[in-house]
Amino acid sequence: MKQSQYIKHSSFDKKINGKLKSFIKTSADNEEHVRQHSRQDEVSQFYFACKNGDIDTVKQILPTIPYDRLNQPEPNGSTSLHAATYFGHLEIVRLLLHEYGCLRHQQNHSGLTAYEEAQTYEMRQLYHRPSNRNRFFDESNSMRQTFQIVSSFSDKIELDNHDNDDHSSNDDDDDNDVTKPNKRWLTGYQTNEEIKRQLDGLSGVEKMLQSRVGRFIMKKSMKHRICKADCGYGDEEYVYIANKGFERHTLKKLLDEHVTSDHPEYKHCCFLLNQYIQQNTIEFLLTLYSLETPFYQQFWTNTNPLGFPLFMRLSDLKLRRFQGNSYRAALCNLTLSSMVSYPASTSCRGVAVADFNNDNRSDITYSDGNFAGILLGYSNGTFTVGTMFPVGNTPFGIAVADFNHDNQLDLGVTNYNDNTMSILLGYGNGTFASQKTFATGSGPIPIAVGDFNNDNNQDIVVGNKLTTTVSVFLGYSNGTFSNQLVFQIGNGPFAIVVGDFNQDNILDIAAAIELSANVAILFGRGNGSFAGLMTFTVGTNPYGITSGDFNNDSRLDLAVTNFDSNSVGILLGYGNGIFASQMTFSTGSGTNPHSVAVADFNNDNKLDIVVANYGGSGSISVLL
């Protein structure tokens, strides 16, 4: 064959091979695309089965859904557990929680967990863990011997077990003595100087292990078994450093042996372990350890499978390190000036600021758990520890006003799961009378105050998120209210602001309507009733709303946070109840703006806007 012919054939073969490879890749991509979409359709089908109470379809699909997709939110922001809970399908919720270990803490776009969407007491009970069970404590004798107290009066260790007083009082009884533990795990120090030297040494070790150079030196030392005798590490412990596969194999073996496939958290455990192995991120292993399974109990007797992964990733745990102040009232004398942080709330939903004890200092009230909390302010900018006052189930919105004309501030609180509003009358010293409750619509969240019937008594409007209505309560001079007056406003009122939007000297109501992507205006008649509903289009899932004169034309305008559009919408008012189309200002990709407030932050006599962002790192956005 001639060389030119060879070259031509070679070029032709290359073209054919290239096209063949391209065809195979395209076919594989298409196959994967179809597979992914079929899974998405399957999950959607599962969501609708949970929503509609189709228990047979749920049981059929459940075993085929990967754990991560089981907890995947739908485009509306809710999971299958949210849907089954909200629509009251007890058997499906029991199946998801107790047999498949669905995530309980996942929030929807409204910031609600599935538990908070429960409409009945019976449904909420499914989420409660048994009160007669200790989740992470084994009361057997073998476990008691794990925790030992070092006696400061003798060179022995005594068990914390005084079931037999005769034996415990006998110093010569060998049954009360156990072998003194290895100094590697437990060491006693007699003087403050010894303690200080040890703490200084530990601080240096900590800094070394949190640096790249320090970890590199430590790993090399352990792999080459340098200082083995001094460290006291055995062959099994060395293999955790030298062989990553051994660490993963050991964790997988523990999981397979002690968490069986019929355990409700089995899929969750497998998912977390696989994520840890694939991503090499310690967060997944910590979550796996904290689950209520037999997995964590294995570390009581052998800490290596968990201890070494943590030890090798100390720098990754930096952000988890407690860096605040810890107070133990039994051991130290607390002073107000030394307290700089207040662990007031873990699920705070509503906040307001006012002077509740008449000392001309700002105090804070917040809704948390099933309580309204009060933090009284001091002149140095610090606050008392929170005092809690019972309200209803899952309080959300909170409003402050003088409802009974005694010149003391009172509280109004919406209770989401009770479908009620609580009124707490203040005594003027930072405390409040027991709540009085008034029935609202379903799922009350926002609350606002105003005089809607011009009788000089404060009235209240509440948005019923799970309906299409708002409830208006006309106030009496003694701090009580009429039964609710119900007005249609739109599907899912999530935030409310009160103002005179048509300049007739009568208060109107504006609401951010979550599910309709608009702002709705109800115009007041001056007698406590409302009419003339008008709507104005804004962005997707508007969660916050406020009013102010943003263009200095003496007419009220509106500002709205568009959660899924990552923007703030400004609607300029014409003074007759009509608003211009919204102008949007981006808050940044993935910020998910939630709440909004206005003030003049730069002293230019123009109102500025501040937004609390739900997404990302929980930032705020300021629009000047």
pLDDT tens digits, 589-619: 888 888 888 887 777 888 888 888 776 656 7
Residue 195 lies in a domain: no
pLDDT for the residue numbered 226: 47
> What are 572-587's pLDDT values in tens digits?
999 999 999 999 998 8
**DSSP run (H or E) holding 42:** helix 3-52
**Across the chain, what does the average pLDDT equal?**
75
pLDDT for the residue numbered 483: 94
Residue 61 lies in a domain: yes
User: What are the b/e assignments for 77-95, b being 16+ CB within 10 Å?
Assistant: bbbbbbbbbbbebeebbeb
Categorize the per-residue pLDDT at 388 as very low, low, confident or very high, splitting at 50, 70 and 90: confident
Q: Which of 68, 93, 127 is the last residue of a domain?
A: 127
The answer, yes or no, to whether residue 318 has pLDDT greater than 60, is: yes
Beta strands per DSSP E along 465-588: 469-473, 485-488, 493-499, 508-513, 518-524, 530-537, 542-548, 557-562, 567-571, 583-586
Q: Which of 127, 161, 188 is the last residue of a domain?
A: 127
pLDDT for the residue numbered 18: 58
Residue 136 lies in a domain: no
Q: What's 106's DSSP letter?
A: -
pLDDT for the residue numbered 64: 86
Categorize the per-residue pLDDT at 570 as very low, low, confident or very high, splitting at 50, 70 and 90: very high
pLDDT for the residue numbered 480: 93
Give, to the nearest 10 degrees, the angle between helix 266-279 and helix 244-258.
180
How many C-beta atoms surround the C-beta of residue 481 within 10 A? Answer: 21
Domain holding 478: CATH number? 2.120.10.30
CA–CA–CA angle 101, 107, 109 (5° rounding): 145
Cα separation of the two ends of the chain: 79
Q: In the chain, how many domains are there? A: 2
Place of tokens 């090499």: 280
Residue 546 lies in a domain: yes
pTM over 0.85: no
Three-class secondary structure of residue 411 per DSSP:
strand
Residue 10 lies in a domain: no
Q: Within 13 A of 517's CA, how many CA atoms are on the CB side?
A: 10
The answer, yes or no, to whether residue 409 has pLDDT greater than 70, is: yes
Q: Which of 81, 101, 127 is the last residue of a domain?
A: 127
The answer, yes or no, to whether residue 268 has pLDDT greater than 90, is: no
For residue 120, give its domain range.
40-127
* β-strands 485-488, 493-499 pairing: unpaired
Report the pLDDT averaged over residues 466-471.
92
As a whole-number percent, the residues of the chain with pLDDT over 90 amount to 30
Residue 342 lies in a domain: no
CA distance 537 to 555: 20
Residue with more model confidence, 440 or 316: 440
> What are 27-58's pLDDT values in tens digits?
555 444 334 333 444 458 889 999 999 999 99
Categorize the per-residue pLDDT at 223 as very low, low, confident or very high, splitting at 50, 70 and 90: low
Sheet holding 420-424: strands in order across? 395-401, 410-415, 420-424, 436-439
The answer, yes or no, to whether residue 469 has pLDDT greater than 70, is: yes
467 close to 459: Cβ distance less than 8 angstroms: no
List of residues 6+ apart from 396 with CB closer than 8 A? 349, 350, 367, 413, 414, 415, 416, 444, 445, 446
CA distance 409 to 8: 93
The answer, yes or no, to whether residue 4 has pLDDT greater than 90, is: no
Residue 59 lies in a domain: yes
Residue 379 lies in a domain: yes
Categorize the per-residue pLDDT at 496 as very low, low, confident or very high, splitting at 50, 70 and 90: very high
Domain holding 88: CATH number? 1.25.40.20
CA distance 573 to 589: 28
pLDDT for the residue numbered 314: 65
* β-strands 518-524, 148-150 pairing: unpaired
> What are 340-366's pLDDT values in tens digits?
444 444 456 788 888 999 988 888 888
pLDDT for the residue numbered 610: 81
Least confident piece of the model among 132-141, 207-216, 241-250, 534-543: 132-141
pLDDT for the residue numbered 250: 78
The answer, yes or no, to whether residue 154 has pLDDT greater than 50, is: no
